[in-house]
Structure 1
Amino acid sequence: MIQIDKALIEKITEEVKRQIKKYETGIPVGVSNRHIHLSHEDLYKLFGNGYELTKYKDLSQPGQFAAKETVSIEGPKGSFKKVRILGPVRKDTQIEISVSDGFKLGITPIVRESGNIGDTPGVIIKGPKGRIVKNKGVIAALRHIHMPVDYAREHGFNNGDMVTVITEGIRKTAFYNVLIRVSDKYNLEMHIDMDEANSSGLKNGDRVEIVKK
């Protein structure tokens, strides 16, 4: 008859729990490819009066979704086709690209917090029913962490804090000037763009640690 070492089983169980807990610590990462947020006015100009976006899939943040619809954007030197629209519609149209995307378009995106589009470059946007010339709205999004209120309170963070974040792996990286955005409408997640993800070897779902406030 096989003897069961209960003490050993308990020890193994605790070690498994410890490893799972270790894996679950930190901030999950979401990598953003180029995309666009449209105002109602611009949506109608591009797709027709009264048009409504069609949900393709939900995003990690509650209420946010990727639409089935895409547009083309054009700069002085080049263009991108099939740029995904993210919903819901916003007050102002905003185009989020990486710095390397700007090289192809022939513009220099300014690193800004989402929504802060004053004195930023513009592009031409083309949809199936129209064409718009925007004189502003293109940014490279300031890396940031969406943080629920209860998590922020528990860990001593406030909306608008700037923190330093480190990654693990062969391309271990320190990200400075990461903005904390606190809301009861957020799920915990750090957002970076494709340039930042490629430089640090990060992908969706990887976890990072805040090391300095």
Structure 2
Amino acid sequence: MSKIIIEISARHAHLSKADFEAVFGKGAELTMLRRLSQPHSYAANEVVDLKTSKDELKNVRILGPLKDRTQVEISKTDSYYLGIPALTRESGNLDGTPGLTIIGPKGEVKIRSGVILAHRHIHASPADAKKYKVKRGQLVSVKFHGPRGVKFYNVLVRVDKKFSWRMQIDTDEANAAGIDEEHNVGEVIVA
């Protein structure tokens, strides 16, 4: 049995340098609010608004560091609210996804694609993958025994030397299962 901490990933944006400067001004720098569990990742002080023709989400946190391509991760509830058909995708797989307008204090930028519902996933280092007998791209299940116990199917394993052993789900999934700071340990099931 492989235990894993289940983390809740709220809506957020990863911006490219060009898009960051378009909304925060030329020469602006992303600043750290707090470190996240994944090494080299952090929640930034900076926030943006996300706008579609239907509605707008305000104060969406940017995660750092800046990326090569802008990506916005929302929940299914957010996609209904914004009126866009966000698709479940692995991080970085953005082709054919919807776009929206990102608004900051110094401007706005319309991205043509890049809005996704992040595929529920496990972060694993190569050592973790070996220890827990999982592989990059493998789909596993994770059982949660909390107050509203569930079994998550089709959990994507992502492997990178920068990762640490954690599962990430969105707020809709966490709320449905009753996962929070006190109830957040799952059991990885490798078929």
**TM-score under structure 2 length normalisation:** 0.96
Q: 1:50 to 1:136 in 2, by over 3 A?
A: same
- Please point out which of 18, 22, 26 is paired with 1:41: 18
User: Once superposed, which parts of structure 1, at least 4 consecutive aligned residues long, lie more than 2 Å away?
Assistant: none
Could you say which structure has the larger radius of gyration? 1
- In structure 1, the partner of 2:99 is 122
Tell me if the contact between 2:75 and 2:172 (Cα under 8 Å) persists in the aligned partners. Answer: yes
Tell me if the contact between 1:76 and 1:107 (Cα under 8 Å) persists in the aligned partners. Answer: no
More helix by share: 1
Q: Does 1:155 align with 2:132?
A: yes
Equivalent AA in structure 2 for residue 121 of structure 1: P
How many corresponding residue pairs? 190
Look up the SS of the partner of 2:22 in the other structure.
Answer: helix
- In structure 2, the partner of 1:85 is 62
- RMSD over aligned Cα atoms: 1.3
Equivalent AA in structure 1 for residue 27 of structure 2: G
Q: Does 1:209 align with 2:187?
A: yes
Q: 1:33 to 1:200 in 2, by over 3 A?
A: same
- Quote the Cα distance in structure 2 between the aligned partners of 1:192 and 1:139: 13
More strand by share: 2
- Following TM superposition, by how much is the alpha carbon of 1:105 offset from its aligned partner in structure 2, in angstroms? 0.6
- In structure 2, the partner of 1:138 is 115
- Following TM superposition, by how much is the alpha carbon of 1:193 offset from its aligned partner in structure 2, in angstroms? 0.2
- Following TM superposition, by how much is the alpha carbon of 1:155 offset from its aligned partner in structure 2, in angstroms? 2.2
- Quote the Cα distance in structure 2 between the aligned partners of 1:127 and 1:32: 22
Q: Deviations over 1:30-88 (max 9, x none)?
A: 10110000000001101111111011000000010000000000112111110000000
**TM-score under structure 1 length normalisation:** 0.86
Equivalent AA in structure 2 for residue 70 of structure 1: V
Equivalent AA in structure 1 for residue 51 of structure 2: E
- Quote the Cα distance in structure 2 between the aligned partners of 1:67 and 1:74: 20
Q: Deviations over 1:100-127 (max 9, x none)?
A: 0011111111000000110001111111
Tell me if the contact between 1:112 and 1:139 (Cα under 8 Å) persists in the aligned partners. Answer: yes
- Following TM superposition, by how much is the alpha carbon of 1:89 offset from its aligned partner in structure 2, in angstroms? 0.2
Tell me if the contact between 2:134 and 2:190 (Cα under 8 Å) persists in the aligned partners. Answer: no
- In structure 1, the partner of 2:75 is 98
Q: Does 1:196 align with 2:173?
A: yes
Q: Identity of aligned pairs, percent?
A: 44
Higher RCO, 1 vs 2 (CA within 8 Å, ≥6 residues apart): 2
